[in-house]
């Protein structure tokens, strides 16, 4: 087990997060600075607090798992009432659309092109507010929610459905995690579509048995799949870090917002944290790594988001939302870059490797339909979409492109990206809280040990002979070096003064203690006489209270 103070946060450059260009300490500082901004966006700004998704309509494309469904109340999702949603996002508005190609004003739709929409949207509703293409763009790293699918999609308030402990566990959860990690088993030579254990996106679903046969990749021990060795290429290491960091962040949340089944109260569960994360510093490192790549992706969107249409139906709200997100992107951009994506996908296999990477990540996002708990599925989908969007921005976007050259993010992507950053920000915060609890626990244990020691010490002093204790009260003559005959007058004078002072103190002490001593001697004498009179021989063992003084004489 690694404690925070052993390997983390001691400053740069020794404590860099592997494969990122930033230390733990810097990421923690950044999080302290940016957290209020991220919290505000994800808790208070409508654009980021509602997510539209097909929560119940999609079947797991890889296996059938009828028994894996979680029936706990904590697994349920409260669906938002459409009345609470800005008008331009409602089904009635979405229903007016036909095509998938509506675009943000900054995208590459050329002037004079026919409108992609069939129905009139009303003056207040920009086309860009309602688009959500339902076909996969070749640059996408995840299979996005089809917001355009009016029939099956629902709006969910992310504030009312926080990610936390649900009790979802067992075979179903384990199967999903196992399949997610198996996406990391890249072949030696990247292939474009078919090298994934689940078959790349678009391929036929593979039965679970085949997926499970891949267990040969596993190591017996801590992780479901061994992390790729350091000598493996950066891209494969990054893939693993992203999924392991996401898993760690989910575990962090369920441990931090845990249901105490005895008291019915929600709160941090330190043992849960110890079991799942504290003992595995690599998992925590991957969580920090994810925070770094999310920060970099959001910073890269800085220019892009300046002209984004937020579609609340109210221009003032849109302007405020834009200002809020600009405060976040500017805040990140005011610090040195924390991750350098430009060094990835550079060698001769780059194109195939990137396609393989993308297909595998799409499969991870599709696996979220196999999660048997609604709440977990909701947050699983948001986070895979958030990481998918971050990867797309990192590897497909040009930071310095002019308006319109980069593909504009869909609402689903941007909401997922910012909420995933919010999740990681919370995870880092929870990590510092858990670390503080562990430190507190260590200090309490130390104090207990000290307490036990001093009790033992007291006991042994109690058993020591009384005379020794009383010796402490004896005044000792000041120690003075022997006279050599060469002392100066002033030295002799001060020696004398010291002796006189001591003698005066001694006299004072003797006089002030005299009544107490007389009382003690009187008590001792009467007790001895009484014992003698009663014929008891206890007086023989009764020590004279000033025996030591007599001994000295
Ligand atoms: C997508 C998804 C979302 C979920 N969301 C929630 C939720 O919101 N609330 C909730 O209560 N439960 C949620 N769960 C369930 C939760 O993640 C666990 O699966 C469950 O609590 C059982 O935990 P476990 O101890 O069996 O280990 P799991 O977390 O299931 O892990 C399985 C195995 O993976 C390995 N492993 C664990 N963490 C890492 C890591 N970071 N890096 C590498 N390897 C690792 C270990 O070998 C471990 O034994 C979710 C599950 C999934 C698949």
Q: Is residue 370 part of a domain?
A: yes
Identify the CA nearest to 129 among candidates 159, 155, 105, 112: 105
Task: Say yes or no: 9 and 115 in one domain.
Answer: yes
* 477/9 Cα distance (integer angstroms): 56
pLDDT tens across the length of the chain (553 residues): 333 333 433 444 567 888 888 888 889 999 999 999 999 999 999 999 999 888 887 888 888 766 667 778 889 999 988 777 777 677 666 555 443 333 444 333 333 333 333 333 334 444 445 445 444 567 788 777 655 565 678 889 999 999 999 999 999 999 999 999 988 776 545 544 444 555 443 333 333 344 334 333 333 345 777 777 766 788 888 999 999 999 999 999 999 999 998 999 999 999 999 999 999 999 999 999 999 999 999 999 998 898 888 877 788 888 999 999 999 999 999 998 888 888 888 888 888 888 888 989 999 999 999 999 999 999 999 999 999 999 999 999 888 776 667 778 888 999 999 999 999 999 999 999 999 999 999 999 999 988 888 888 888 877 776 655 555 567 777 787 888 888 888 888 988 898 899 889 989 988 888 898 888 888 888 887 887 777 766 555 567 777 666 665 5
Task: Say yes or no: 419 and 479 in one domain.
Answer: no
Q: Is residue 228 part of a domain?
A: yes
**Which atom number of ligand 1 is nearest to the Cα of residue 383?**
1
Residues 6 or more apart whose Cβ sits within 8 Å of residue 105? 126, 128, 307, 309
Q: Is residue 109 part of a domain?
A: yes
Helix (H, G, I), strand (E, B) or coil at 444: helix
Task: Say yes or no: 478 and 394 in one domain.
Answer: no
Q: Please name the residue ranges forming H helices in 397-488.
A: 411-463, 466-471
Alpha carbon of 146 to ligand 1 centroid (Å)? 26
Extended strands (E) in 192-268: 258-260, 265-267
Q: Is residue 433 part of a domain?
A: yes
* 61/206 Cα distance (integer angstroms): 8
| Helix, strand, coil abundance in the chain, percent, nearest 5 | 55, 5, 40
* 127/119 Cα distance (integer angstroms): 10
Task: Say yes or no: 219 and 134 in one domain.
Answer: yes
Task: Say yes or no: 180 and 63 in one domain.
Answer: yes
**Residue 293 is part of which domain span?**
4-446
Is there a binding annotation on residue 247? yes
Instruction: State which of 156, 168, 378 you would mutate to test the pocket of ligand 1, scoring each by most atoms of that ligand within 8 A of its C-beta.
Output: 168
| Known catalytic residue at 376 | yes
Task: Say yes or no: 408 and 476 in one domain.
Answer: no
* 269/240 Cα distance (integer angstroms): 27
The three state secondary structure string of 149-185 is: CCCCCEEEECCCCCCCCCCCCCHHHHHHHHHHHHCCC
Residue 162 falls in which region: left (phi positive, over 0), alpha (psi -120 to 50) or beta? beta
Q: Is residue 522 part of a domain?
A: yes
Task: Say yes or no: 179 and 120 in one domain.
Answer: yes
Q: Which of 388, 413, 446 is the last residue of a domain?
A: 446
| Known catalytic residue at 373 | yes
Task: Say yes or no: 379 and 494 in one domain.
Answer: no
Q: Write down the pTM of the prediction.
A: 0.74
Q: Which of 430, 446, 462 is the last residue of a domain?
A: 446
Task: Say yes or no: 494 and 409 in one domain.
Answer: no
Task: Say yes or no: 483 and 434 in one domain.
Answer: no
Instruction: State which of 177, 372, 430 you would mutate to test the pocket of ligand 1, scoring each by most atoms of that ligand within 8 A of its C-beta.
Output: 177
Element (H, E) at 308: none
**Which atom number of ligand 1 is nearest to the Cα of residue 376?**
5
Q: Is residue 452 part of a domain?
A: no
Cα→Cα distances 236→178, 306, 344, 397, Å: 17, 33, 10, 20
Task: Say yes or no: 72 and 127 in one domain.
Answer: yes
Is there a binding annotation on residue 312? no
Alpha carbon of 246 to ligand 1 centroid (Å)? 10
Is there a binding annotation on residue 244? yes
- Catalytic-labelled residue, pool 75, 185, 370, 373: 373
C-alpha torsion angle, residues 111, 112, 116, 122 (rounded to 10): 90
Q: Is residue 464 part of a domain?
A: no
Q: Is residue 206 part of a domain?
A: yes
* 31/287 Cα distance (integer angstroms): 13
Domain count, the chain: 2
Tokens of 58: 């999609």
Q: Which residues pair with 16 in a beta bridge?
A: 23
Task: Say yes or no: 409 and 372 in one domain.
Answer: yes
Tokens of 397: 């976007």
């Amino acid at each position: 087990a690694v404690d925070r103070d052993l390997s983390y946060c001691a400053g740069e450059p020794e404590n860099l997060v592997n494969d990122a260009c930033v230390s733990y300490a810097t990421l923690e500082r950044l999080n302290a600075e940016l957290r209020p901004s991220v919290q505000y966006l994800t808790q208070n700004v409508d654009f980021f607090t509602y997510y539209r998704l097909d929560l119940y309509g999609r079947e797991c494309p890889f296996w059938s798992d009828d028994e894996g469904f979680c029936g706990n109340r904590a697994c349920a999702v409260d669906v938002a009432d459409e009345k609470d949603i800005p008008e331009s996002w409602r089904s009635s508005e979405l229903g007016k659309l036909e095509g998938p190609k509506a675009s943000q004003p900054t995208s590459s739709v050329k002037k004079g092109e026919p409108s992609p929409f069939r129905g009139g949207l009303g003056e207040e509703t920009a086309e860009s507010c309602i688009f959500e293409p339902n076909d996969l763009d070749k640059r996408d790293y995840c299979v996005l929610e089809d917001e355009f699918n009016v029939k099956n999609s629902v709006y969910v308030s992310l504030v009312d459905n926080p990610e936390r402990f649900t009790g979802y566990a067992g075979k179903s959860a384990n199967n999903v995690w196992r399949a997610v990690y198996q996406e990391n088993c890249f072949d030696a030579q990247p292939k474009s579509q078919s090298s994934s254990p689940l078959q790349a996106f678009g391929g036929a679903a593979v039965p679970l048995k085949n997926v499970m046969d891949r267990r040969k990749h596993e190591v017996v021990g801590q992780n479901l799949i061994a992390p790729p060795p350091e000598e493996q290429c950066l891209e494969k290491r990054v893939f693993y870090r992203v999924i392991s960091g996401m898993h760690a962040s989910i575990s962090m949340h369920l441990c931090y917002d845990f249901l105490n089944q005895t008291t019915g109260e929600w709160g941090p569960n330190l043992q849960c944290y110890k079991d799942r994360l504290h003992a595995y510093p690599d998992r925590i490192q991957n969580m920090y790594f994810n925070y770094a790549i999310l920060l970099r992706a959001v910073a890269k969107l800085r220019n892009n988001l300046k002209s984004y249409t937020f579609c609340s139906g109210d221009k003032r709200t849109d302007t405020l939302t834009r200002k809020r997100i600009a405060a976040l992107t500017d805040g990140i951009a005011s610090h040195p870059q924390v991750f350098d994506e430009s060094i990835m996908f550079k060698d001769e296999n780059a194109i195939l490797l990137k396609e393989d990477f993308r297909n595998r990540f799409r499969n991870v996002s599709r696996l979220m339909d196999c999660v048997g708990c609604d709440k977990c599925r909701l947050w699983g989908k948001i986070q895979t979409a958030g990481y998918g969007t971050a990867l797309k921005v990192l590897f497909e976007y040009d930071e310095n492109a002019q308006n319109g050259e980069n593909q504009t993010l869909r609402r689903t992507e941007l909401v997922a990206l910012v909420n995933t950053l919010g999740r990681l920000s919370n995870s880092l915060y929870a990590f510092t809280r858990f670390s503080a609890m562990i430190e507190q626990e260590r200090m309490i244990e130390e104090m207990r040990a000290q307490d036990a020691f001093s009790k033992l010490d007291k006991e042994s002093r109690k058993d020591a002979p009384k005379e020794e204790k009383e010796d402490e009260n004896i005044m000792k003559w000041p120690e003075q070096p022997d006279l050599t005959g060469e002392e100066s007058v002033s030295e002799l004078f001060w020696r004398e003064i010291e002796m006189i002072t001591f003698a005066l103190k001694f006299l004072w002490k003797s006089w002030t203690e005299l009544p107490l001593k007389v009382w003690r001697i009187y008590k001792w004498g009467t007790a001895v006489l009484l014992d003698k009179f009663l014929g008891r021989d206890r007086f023989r063992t009764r020590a004279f209270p000033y025996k030591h003084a007599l001994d000295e004489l």
